[in-house]
Amino acid sequence: MPATDMTDATHLHRCRRSQRLGEVDQQYRQSLHRLAHRLVRDKGRADDIVQETLIRLWKHPHLLDEPDLALRAWLFTVARHLAYDELRCARRRHEYATDNNAALDRHSDDPCAHLADTWIVHRALATLSHQHREVILHAYYRRATTQDIATELAIPPGTVKSRLHYALRALRDACTAQGVTTESPVNREDLSV
């Protein structure tokens, strides 16, 4: 077989696999998302699990040649294991999604409390590193999603999540050092610059 025929055959095979991967994505994405969401109870993390499942399938293209029943079993097993890993991961237990700000929207009628909380948060933010302050500002002032923050700062989404986790921990510690306790949470409006 001439080299051009081999190249054409390889290209054709890759195109078929790419097409099959698209079909699998279309066929199973919603079902995988429902499973992941049911297990982790977070839309963003469920999206990440589905994406990682499909990436793992892409890394093992020979599985695309398997019968649908075997492929489905493999996909759901991988998604389930990824969800369990997500739930087991200690750092995730303390991480909050930046897409859901309902818990941050509470109002205070006391202007003195508002002023004091604002002052405490400003002082606490000043103690953070530039990178930590940057992700907090994007996530809580601008209400940007993890993906938006990653795009704007040109860093991977996983790095955004990690920085946000450690930034919130450092911010909490800085507030605690100023006498703020969990009984007196700072509201979102107090973060206004």
What is the model's pLDDT at position 87? 82
Of the candidates 88, 118, 140, which is a domain's last residue? 88
What is the model's pLDDT at position 171? 85
Q: Mean pLDDT per 10-residue run, the chain (193 residues)?
A: 61 77 92 93 90 92 89 95 82 49 52 72 87 89 88 90 89 79 47 45
- Asked whether the beta carbons of 76 and 68 are under 8 A apart, the reply is no
| 107 plus 185 within the same structural domain | yes
What is the model's pLDDT at position 20? 85
Number of structural domains the chain divides into: 2
Assigned domain for 35 exists: yes
Structural domain containing residue 125: 103-191
| 127 plus 69 within the same structural domain | no
pTM for this predicted structure: 0.46
Q: What are phi and psi of 129, to 5 degrees?
A: -70, 160
What is the model's pLDDT at position 37? 93
Of the candidates 29, 64, 88, which is a domain's last residue? 88
Assigned domain for 96 exists: no
How far is CA 148 from each of CA 21, 43, 96, rounded to the nearest angstrom? 27, 16, 16
Tens digits of residue pLDDT in 82-130: 998 888 874 445 554 544 444 444 555 666 766 777 787 888 888 889 9
- Separation of alpha carbons 132 and 108, rounded Å: 27
What is the model's pLDDT at position 74? 95
- Separation of alpha carbons 108 and 52, rounded Å: 42
| 130 plus 187 within the same structural domain | yes
- Separation of alpha carbons 169 and 172, rounded Å: 5
| 107 plus 84 within the same structural domain | no
Of the candidates 88, 118, 142, which is a domain's last residue? 88
| 20 plus 57 within the same structural domain | yes
